[in-house]
Amino acid sequence: MTTTEFGAIDVFRSYSDELLSLWNARLTASGAAGDFRNKTGQLKGQTKELLRLMADATQSGQMDNLHTEAWKPVRSFLDQLSDERARQGYSSSQTATFVFSLKEPLHTVLRREIQDPARFASALWEVNELIDKLGLLTIESFQNSREQVIVRQQEEMLELSTPVVKLWDGILALPMIGTLDSARTQVVMESLLQRIVETGSAIAIIDITGVPTVDTLVAQHLLKTVTAIRLMGADCIISGVRPQIAQTIVHLGVNLQGISTKATLADALAVALERTGRSITTHAAK
Amino acid sequence: MGRTLLVTIQLDMHDAHALQLQEDLSSRIVDSSAKGVLIDISALDVVDSFIARAIANISSVAELLDARCVIVGMQPAVAITLVEMGAKLTGVRTALNVEHGMDLLRLAGV
């Protein structure tokens, strides 16, 4: 492509207004503009802004490498756009279609402006390449944003799932719910140990009623937690061992000897009260 | 405090400190004919395997000299580190704080 002749690279600057209206019309026709998540005029603002940025970027004179300084505004704009759409709950194809729908307006303009078939073909190819790259970029950042959302939710769940409750003066309980993995056990262990120090509790009860399966790894984690609690000078009771879990533990050959285990939280509480020198009595009915 | 010695570790223990402490403590136990020793490690927040062994050693030396030894105030981070290192400190008595440690000594007949 020579600079004297009109080529694919000039189309963004020379025909930006026409491209914009064609693009908007296309988005409206495909129904994307009518989506309820779009605020009025927001989509039009986005198309206008993107075209303006692309016109600026093409002034650098090249459009086959998007990782240059000139294309940086375009990239960051698309990043932001995908990030927004990921949060609003768009699907990845909806987000990519936004970029891909620019192809048709470009084709229309190029076909009208370039008569020579050979040059038209090469210009078309360049434009296609560019839009595909932009589309891929959008998808990539869309996925990144999605992953960030997932990671944040995981962290929130982690915090939610480790409540340490005080059952009695000097007795703490930790009802564990859900599958135990290394990361969770670490958080559980730390928060439990921290609470033991804060409250000066001599006995901690770990209730595993809500743990669906116990494998060797989970048993290992439990053992570690119990050992750490003992090292700090408190005692630990594991409660809520269901029959299947007891059988699994025996089958696995895990040695939980030396750790007091109880079938229910109530049993564990009774033992804990007894160890701290308390007892519960039933008053005779008057 | 009566027949009980209270040792407070104020700063991060180095290897030399640990050995020094072991010697000082053993002679003090003999001199004062103490029956109980409380070692407060609540200010200790970094441990390595050497310190872990030193603590276990000090505890068994005290037991040999007929004094019950209780380690009190171990920080959660320290406990986790020890467990991850696989140091179980078997035979070492531990308590949450000095108060609990005194109770434990009383139960042991000091």
Q: Rounded mean pLDDT of chain B?
A: 85
- Note whether A99 and A135 are within 8 A (CB): yes
Question: In B, which residues are within 8 Å of A227 by CB distance?
Answer: 83, 88
Q: Which long-range contacts (CB under 8 A, 24 or more apart) does A120-128 make?
A: A122/A1, A122/A8, A123/A1, A123/A7, A123/A8, A123/A11, A124/A8, A126/A1, A126/A7, A126/A8, A126/A9, A126/A63, A126/A64, A127/A8, A127/A11, A127/A103, A128/A103
Architecture in CATH for domain B4-107:
2-Layer Sandwich (3.30)
> Roughly how many angstroms between the first and final C-alpha of chain B, as a whole number?
11
Residues of chain A with pLDDT under 70: 1-7, 31-41, 160-161, 285-286
- Note whether A32 and A100 are within 8 A (CB): no
pLDDT at residue A4, as a whole number? 46
C-beta neighbour count of A259 within 10 angstroms = 16
Q: Determine whether the interchain pair A224/B84 forms a contact, defined as Cβ–Cβ distance below 8 Å.
A: yes
Each residue's pLDDT tens digit, B38-60 = 999 888 888 888 888 888 888 88
Each residue's pLDDT tens digit, B60-76 = 888 888 888 899 988 88
Interface of chain B against chain A, CB under 8 Å?
A: 70-72, 74-76, 79-80, 82-84, 88-89, 93-97, 99-101
- Note whether B70 and B37 are within 8 A (CB): yes
Q: What is the pTM of this model?
A: 0.62
Residues of chain A with CATH 1.10.490: 8-154
C-beta neighbour count of B39 within 10 angstroms = 25
Of A145, A64, A144, A53, nearest to A102 by C-alpha is A53
Q: Determine whether the interchain pair A233/B76 forms a contact, defined as Cβ–Cβ distance below 8 Å.
A: no
pLDDT at residue A65, as a whole number? 76
Question: In A, which residues are within 8 Å of B95 by CB distance?
Answer: 233
Of A255, A171, A199, A188, nearest to B80 by C-alpha is A188
CATH 3.30.540.10 fits A165-275, yes or no: no
- Note whether A123 and A110 are within 8 A (CB): yes
Question: In A, which residues are within 8 Å of B96 by CB distance?
Answer: 196-197, 200-202, 232-234
Please give the residue of chain A at the shortest CA–CA distance from B84. A224
pLDDT at residue A5, as a whole number? 59
CA distances from A211 to A74, A215, A233, A264, A267 (A): 49, 11, 26, 13, 18
Question: What is d(CA B2, CA A279) in angstroms, rounded to the nearest whole number?
Answer: 33
Residues of chain A with CATH 3.30.750.24: 165-275
Q: Determine whether the interchain pair A196/B74 forms a contact, defined as Cβ–Cβ distance below 8 Å.
A: no
DSSP string covering A88-154, please? HT--HHHHHHHHHTTHHHHHHHHHHH---HHHHHHHHHHHHHHHHHHHHHHHHHHHHHHHHHHHHHH
3 state SS for chain B: CCCEEEEECCCCCCHHHHHHHHHHHHHHHHHHCCCEEEEECCCCCCCCHHHHHHHHHHHHHHHHCCCEEEEECCCHHHHHHHHHHCCCCCCCEEECCHHHHHHHHHHCCC
Is residue A171 within 8 angstroms of chain B, CB to CB?
no
pLDDT at residue A203, as a whole number? 92
Each residue's pLDDT tens digit, A88-114 = 888 888 888 888 888 888 888 888 888
Query: Which strands sit side by side in the sheet containing A171-177, from one edge to the other?
Result: A165-168, A171-177, A203-210, A235-239, A260-262
The encoded tokens of residue A238 equal 């594991």
Residue A10 DSSP label? G
Residue A253 DSSP label? T
Beta partners for A207?
A175, A239
Burial B56-90 (b: 16+ CB within 10 A, else e): bebbebbeebebbbbbbbbbbbbbbbbbeeebebe
- Note whether A99 and A131 are within 8 A (CB): yes
Tell me the H-state helices in chain A: 11-14, 16-30, 42-58, 72-88, 92-100, 103-113, 117-160, 182-199, 216-231, 243-252, 265-275
pLDDT at residue A268, as a whole number? 92
Mutate to test the interface with A, among B47, B72, B83 (most CBs of A within 10 A): B83
Distance of CA B73 to the CA centre of its chain: 10
Please give the residue of chain A at the shortest CA–CA distance from B94. A233
The domain made up of A8-154 has a fold known as Globin-like (1.10.490)
Beta partners for B39?
B7, B71
